């Protein structure tokens, strides 16, 4: 179903400015909900139409809505936009039998709870759009937003563990050598003590990560000495 000619949007985020007919948007939302339709995910772009001015207005007014039965019948669908070569609309291409790899599942890392700022990250991620009115859709949005935020947050927090450990070891070694030639200042003593404590924490975190991931790998591959 293509609704481009009706110039309707489902959410305020589907238009690049706030010049929105909210009455029509709400009616469209009610229509979709009343008929139990689901919008197919579009890969690659956020908007499908442009007025092509120097400062363009961008909207998503082309979409495909399907029933639950259709999605169950075609679970491997892939919808993508095509080039706007002959129109101001982006044509939609739908394939119902794709063999692309499955999307990586979200996996909660236990060590995240030990990282500084974990609770603040949860509070920042636990949000949903005000355009979502139904409780179950709100809950779904909350879980999806939190999963995506935590994955990015966890990568930022732990990606440089080895680099931080090398820097800490290098600084401690420099201070150790300096101590052989002269007494360390109070600031240098504090710095070396702080670096050692930080190094212990980083090493413990690294062991926790390696231990958890080795268990996951073992569960995935199986134990060669058993019938698992």
Which among 123, 139, 158 is the end of a domain? 158
Q: Would you say residue 103 has pLDDT above 80?
A: no
Rounded average pLDDT over 204-208: 75
Q: Residue 152: helix, strand or coil by DSSP?
A: helix
Q: How many domains does the chain have?
A: 3
- 66-80, 95-109, 153-167, 171-185: segment of lowest average pLDDT: 95-109
DSSP per residue, 54-103: SS--EE-----EE-HHHHHH-TT-EEEE---SSSSB--EEEES---PPPP
CA distance 181 to 174: 11
Checking if the pLDDT of 150 tops 60, the result is yes
* Same domain flag for 124 and 192: no
pLDDT for 221 equals 46
Q: Across residues 209-221, what is the average pLDDT?
A: 57
Report the pLDDT value the prediction gives residue 190, as an integer from 0 to 100.
92
The answer to whether residue 80 sits within a structural domain is: yes
Domain holding 190, by residue range, is 161-221
Taking CB atoms within 8 Å and a gap of at least 24, the contacts of 13-19 are: 13/129, 13/131, 14/46, 14/47, 14/59, 14/60, 14/61, 15/57, 15/58, 15/59, 15/60, 16/47, 16/56, 16/57, 16/58, 16/59, 17/57, 19/57
Phi (first) and psi of residue 28, to 5 degrees: -65, -45
Q: What are 154-167's pLDDT values in tens digits? A: 777 766 677 778 88
Residues 214 and 154 in one domain: no
């Amino acid at each position: 179903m293509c609704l481009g000619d009706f110039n309707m949007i489902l959410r305020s985020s589907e238009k690049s400015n706030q010049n929105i007919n909210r009455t029509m948007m709400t009616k469209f939302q009610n229509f979709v909900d009343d008929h139990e339709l689901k919008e197919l995910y579009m890969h690659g772009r956020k908007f499908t139409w442009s007025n092509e001015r120097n400062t363009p207005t961008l909207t998503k007014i082309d979409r495909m809505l399907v029933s639950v039965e259709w999605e169950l019948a075609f679970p491997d669908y892939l919808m993508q936009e095509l080039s706007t070569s002959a129109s101001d609309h982006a044509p939609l291409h739908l394939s119902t039998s794709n063999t692309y790899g499955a999307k990586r599942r979200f996996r909660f890392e236990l060590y995240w709870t030990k990282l500084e700022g974990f609770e603040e990250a949860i509070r920042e991620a636990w949000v949903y759009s005000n355009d979502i009115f139904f409780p179950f859709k709100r809950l779904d949005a909350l879980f999806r937003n939190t999963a995506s935020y935590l994955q990015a947050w966890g990568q930022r927090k732990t990606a440089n563990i080895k680099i931080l450990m090398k820097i800490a070891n290098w600084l401690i070694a420099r201070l150790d050598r300096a101590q052989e030639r002269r007494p360390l200042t109070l600031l240098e003593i504090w710095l070396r003590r702080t670096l050692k404590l930080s190094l212990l924490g980083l090493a413990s975190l690294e062991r926790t990560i390696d231990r958890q991931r080795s268990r996951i790998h073992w569960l995935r591959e199986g134990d060669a000495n058993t019938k698992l």
